[in-house]
């Protein structure tokens, strides 16, 4: 589903942006690096998961709602990295 691919791209961009932000500010500590790596793993898991979702039109809305919730949670964790 295209919507899910867009969510995954948004997460990748958010992660890359956060890393650039921390590098530019000179705040890329070992803890921040670890958190960035953890979020990258979460994004990889999200991407793997969306490849296996059903294309059943009756489930489409539920799948999109659930994946949006998960993507928003990951994005919030990315934003919280300092």
Distance in angstroms (rounded) separating the CA atoms of residues 65 and 30: 34
- Output the pLDDT for position 54: 83
pLDDT at 57 over 90: no
Task: Give how far Cα 68 sits from Cα of 11, 20, 22, 47, Å.
Answer: 11, 25, 26, 13
Residues 20-37 pLDDT 10s:
999 999 878 999 999 999
């Amino acid at each position: 589903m295209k919507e899910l691919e867009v969510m995954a791209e948004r997460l990748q961009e958010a992660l890359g942006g956060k890393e650039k932000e921390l590098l530019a500010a000179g705040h890329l500590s070992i803890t921040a690096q670890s958190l960035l790596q953890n979020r990258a793993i979460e994004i990889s898991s999200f991407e793997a998961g969306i490849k296996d979702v059903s294309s059943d039109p009756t489930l489409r809305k539920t799948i999109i709602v659930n994946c949006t919730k998960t993507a928003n949670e990951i994005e919030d964790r990315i934003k919280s990295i300092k």
